[in-house]
């Protein structure tokens, strides 16, 4: 990969900070710790500091920040919980980091319509706490307790996507502030529409480069009558993947199905104090009526046995389920901590599921050639998987080695007609791969970016070079 | 509504047709009958003729046609089956009608990945015939036997959308020819991706104004183990709608649920020779295992009874099911033929389902003030419904009256936070309403159109005025 050249980082124009301070008072901060927090991410990228952080509390605040930046030609980069993986919210050209975490009100829950309207700083766990009493839930679960605005901007998905889709399907509509400072609604609250270009989907996944999300309307789902979970180890990776493919073919509506390789199982056992066999393992979740669940579990159990699965441990008990999914959610930290004090590097690709077993097997073989600990885990039903590396901070050559392994992983996925990222986004880290994946289509993206943000001020330097 | 002003219709430049004929030979036609067929639609709009029709057989043909048009600044409008409802494929500025119906090959079926790749002229019934032996089906069913390219371009949906989504969810990726003559793939074949802007969703529903679809990758679903259907009449519209909302709340995965009002039932009885009670009626379809179906049917039956439903006639027999859905699919023709020789005008809106009963009731009351026969039918689970008017061709004042009723209908839907079209698209007929619905967001659409089609040659005059 060639190095990415970011747009030049310019000094703030004279008088700009005076205007910002006059408008925002204590809501603007320039301290080292705050700036460092907004220039770092849960990833391996170097810190790139903003000149100042503005904490927005209202849509009017966002408009004012955008207008100040527009008039002074200062870059502005939205920031949520800072949990993104590809440096998506790192202000590579400096300027303003616009922190939206205080815009965290749940504005409406329309139970009969199965939707809600929230501000971008609402966290997904906060939302589900709020919804529980109404018998509803928001299914998208990327692991981290991310903000809804951040999940929208990176087109996040996670463990429930096989049944409930990704943020692409979950977002019904948006209110965004565009680079010209206008507040625009991308759609009404109807469940579907054929009214013009699908602006909602254009902003979902655009990583704050086209607009800043100030309101999100989300699809919700009824909490299932019953939830069961199951764990099953397999004697081969192919057996595990085939079990999932055959289950889907038989119409089993799997709610979650996660694959963890032997190394990841070892990491989970160590980190979450469990004692699962350290083999390729599937974690399942089933949603439905007791009758439906019984049928689903029986079918998947039979398929697992036919495909080399071991003991099929399933349970209806909430505490068993919580233990299982807590371990899954902590898998990233467990993997990094295979070496205490290590730097984590998480990457993801997604391939057609017919190629998944082959892609994971080849990747595992490649990882095994290296001394750097690395685990594989993923969302089998989608064909999406992650590799998490645990890198020695005192051995810079390991970073170079991981870069090469990551390059081979992405090339392998692309050769299988897959994508360079299933759910993390492009951010800083996957820009060369986006071009390898989509070629001329990136020029269409650039044309759209230029049309909507002619000054290139919204999260400049991300997704592609202009 | 103010009248739409289309871009000027210009004479073809000298020598243009010579070049077209040199490249396309017998594939280009200028006869009156062919031009009339491509300038008319299944709707009430006046005929607007193309100067010539090119029948494309390959992507290279499409590229050649686009390059000829681009160089000579001649408008080009793609055409599929001609079944669209809002004049979407009518060449309002003349020029070339690019007929894609002969690009009708099914290029690949990837059964294990639950997807297929087709050319744009493939019809949905043809595709399902082809898929049947592999245990798969393509669920999107707008009624008409439309082409996949046309369904993509209008973001079609139909009777199965409550469970399987719309073309927004069904299209995994596209190959398009853009106005600069380039062939671009919008995505790889992975089931999900977070790689850059969602170009796939941008082209879905863009009505051929941004690119011409030459290949579509579609998500497929396993054919359900069993299918049951049911019919139930209700003593109130609210009772019918409440039955559906409560079913969804209880997690019943309804595959289809259609509402037909008393007038529509009368039309269906006459046209399809049936003898259903002429009251507000729900048509249901259930997909699943026999156990699941039994449970679903019992739940919906109980809810229907609680909400004023009459006899709940359900059946597992394919012939009963075919009769029912044949009647539903013919409902449009049945409605128009309430007056033999009449002109049909079909409109659609979509509202949050909590407002659906109220929206339909107010609309029915409005229709009842007119002497023009009009029926209501719709996709209750989505909040989407249609009104079909049967207009006397010899009474021009009826057209004016329907225009006013339609205006009140759309205003009513917008006031309920709904959309001016759930599935027909904007085309010619809903342009003023798009602006009423989305305001400044239409300027973003215009900016995108200008960026991708600076000469405004791709289906000019549609969706919005430039």
Domains recognised in chain A with CATH numbers: 16-102 (3.30.43.10), 106-222 (3.30.465.10), 226-329 (3.30.70.2190), 333-436 (3.30.70.2740)
Q: Do B197 and A186 touch (CB under 8 A)?
A: no
Contacts of B302 in chain A (CB under 8 A): none
| Contact call for residues B380 and B259 (beta carbons, < 8 A) | yes
Please compute the mean of the pLDDT values over residues B1-29 and round it to a whole number: 91
Residue A142's alpha-carbon distances to A70, A356, A416, A423, in angstroms, are 33, 20, 24, 9
> Which chain A residues are Cβ-neighbours of B161 within 8 angstroms?
192
CB–CB of A110 and B354 under 8 A? yes
The pLDDT of residue A3 is: 67
Identify the CA nearest to B208 among candidates B240, B163, B174: B174
Residues 6+ apart with CB under 8 A from A395: none
Residues of A in contact with B418 (CB under 8 A): 188-190
DSSP B201-249: HHHTTSTTSS-EEEEEEEE-EEPPSEEEEEEEEESSHHHHHHHHHHHHH
Measure CB to CB from residue B197 to each of A165, A202, A288 and give the nearest one. Answer: A202
- Is B1's pLDDT higher than 60? no
Q: What's the pLDDT tens digit per position in B103-148? A: 999 999 999 999 999 999 999 999 999 999 999 999 999 989 999 9
Closest CA–CA distance from residue A154 to any residue of chain B (Å): 7
**Which chain A residues contact residue B465 at CB under 8 A?**
none
Whether B202 and A205 lie within 8 Å, measured CB to CB: no
Q: Which of A109, A114, A180, A191 to mutate to test the interface with B (most CBs of B within 10 A)?
A: A191
Q: pLDDT tens, B274-283?
A: 999 999 999 9
Q: H or E element: which one contains A331?
A: helix A331-336
Q: Which of A158, A194, A419 to mutate to test the interface with B (most CBs of B within 10 A)?
A: A194
| 3 state SS of B176 | strand
For position B15, what pLDDT does the model report? 97
Q: Which of A112, A350, A445 sits opposite B196 (nearest CB)?
A: A445
CB contact under 8 A, B202 and A204: no
Alpha-carbon torsion, ordered B397, B403, B407, B409, to 10 deg: 90
Per-residue pLDDT in tens (0 to 9) along chain A, 466 residues: 456 788 999 999 999 999 999 999 999 999 999 999 999 877 788 899 999 999 999 999 999 999 999 999 999 999 999 999 999 999 999 999 999 999 999 999 999 999 999 999 999 999 999 999 999 999 999 989 999 999 999 999 999 999 999 999 999 999 999 999 999 999 999 999 999 999 999 999 999 999 999 999 999 999 999 999 999 999 999 999 999 989 988 889 999 999 999 999 999 999 999 999 999 999 999 999 998 899 999 999 999 999 999 999 998 888 888 888 888 989 999 999 999 999 999 999 999 999 999 999 999 999 999 999 999 999 999 999 999 999 999 999 999 999 999 999 999 999 999 999 999 999 999 999 999 999 999 999 999 999 999 999 999 999 998 8
Split at pLDDT 50, 70, 90, the class of B169 is very high
Lowest-confidence region among A32-46, A277-291, B73-87, B388-402 = A32-46
- What pLDDT, on a 0 to 100 scale, did the predictor assign at position B3? 67
Q: Half-sphere exposure (CA, 13 Å, Cβ side) for B198?
A: 33
In this complex, the residue of B196, B295, B463 whose CB is nearest that of residue A196 is: B463
Write down the pLDDT at residue B377: 95
Instruction: State residue A211's pLDDT score.
Output: 98
- 8 Å CB contact between B97 and B79: yes
Q: Do B73 and B104 form a contact (C-beta atoms < 8 A)?
A: no
pLDDT value of residue B2: 55
């Amino acid at each position: 990969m060639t190095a990415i050249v970011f747009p030049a980082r310019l000094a703030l124009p004279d008088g700009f900070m005076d205007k910002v301070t006059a408008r925002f008072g204590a809501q603007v901060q320039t301290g080292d710790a705050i700036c460092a927090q907004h220039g770092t991410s849960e990833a391996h990228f170097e810190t790139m500091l903003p000149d100042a952080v503005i904490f927005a509390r209202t849509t009017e605040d966002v408009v004012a920040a955008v207008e100040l930046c527009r008039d002074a030609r200062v870059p502005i980069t939205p920031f949520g919980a800072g949990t993104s993986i590809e440096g998506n919210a790192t202000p590579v050209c400096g300027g303003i980091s616009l922190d939206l975490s205080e815009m965290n009100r749940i504005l409406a829950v329309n139970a009969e319509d199965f939707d809600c309207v929230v501000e971008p700083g609402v966290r997904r766990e906060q939302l589900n706490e709020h919804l529980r009493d109404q018998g509803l839930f928001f299914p998208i679960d990327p692991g981290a307790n991310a903000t809804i605005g951040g999940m929208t901007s990176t087109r996040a998905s996670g463990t429930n996507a096989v049944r409930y889709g990704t943020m692409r399907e979950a977002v019904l509509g948006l209110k965004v502030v565009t680079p010209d400072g206008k507040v625009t609604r991308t759609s009404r609250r109807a469940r579907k529409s054929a009214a013009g270009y699908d602006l909602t989907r254009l902003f979902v996944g655009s990583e704050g480069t086209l607009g800043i999300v100030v309101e999100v309307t989300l699809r919700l789902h009824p909490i299932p009558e019953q939830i069961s979970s199951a764990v099953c180890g397999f004697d081969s990776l192919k057996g595990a993947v085939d079990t999932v493919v055959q289950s889907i073919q038989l119409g089993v509506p799997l709610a979650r199905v996660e694959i963890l390789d032997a190394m990841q199982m070892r990491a989970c056992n160590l980190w979450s104090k469990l004692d699962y066999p350290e083999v390729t393992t599937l974690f399942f979740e089933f949603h439905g009526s007791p009758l439906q669940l019984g049928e689903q579990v029986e079918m998947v159990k039979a398929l697992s046995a036919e495909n080399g699965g071991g003991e099929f441990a399933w349970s209806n008990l909430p505490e068993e389920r919580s233990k299982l999914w807590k371990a899954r959610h902590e898998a990233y930290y467990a993997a990094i901590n295979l070496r205490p004090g290590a730097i984590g590097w998480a990457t993801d690709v997604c391939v057609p599921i017919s190629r998944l077993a082959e892609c994971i097997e080849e990747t595992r073989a490649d990882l095994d050639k290296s001394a750097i600990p690395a685990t594989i885990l993923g969302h089998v039903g989608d064909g999406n998987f992650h590799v998490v590396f645990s890198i020695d901070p005192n051995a810079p050559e390991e970073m170079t080695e991981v870069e090469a392994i990551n390059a081979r992983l992405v090339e392998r996925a692309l050769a299988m007609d897959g994508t360079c990222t299933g759910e993390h986004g492009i951010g800083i880290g996957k820009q060369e791969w986006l071009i390898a994946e989509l070629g001329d289509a990136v020029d269409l993206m650039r044309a759209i970016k230029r049309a909507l943000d002619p000054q290139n001020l919204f999260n400049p330097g991300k997704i592609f070079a202009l």
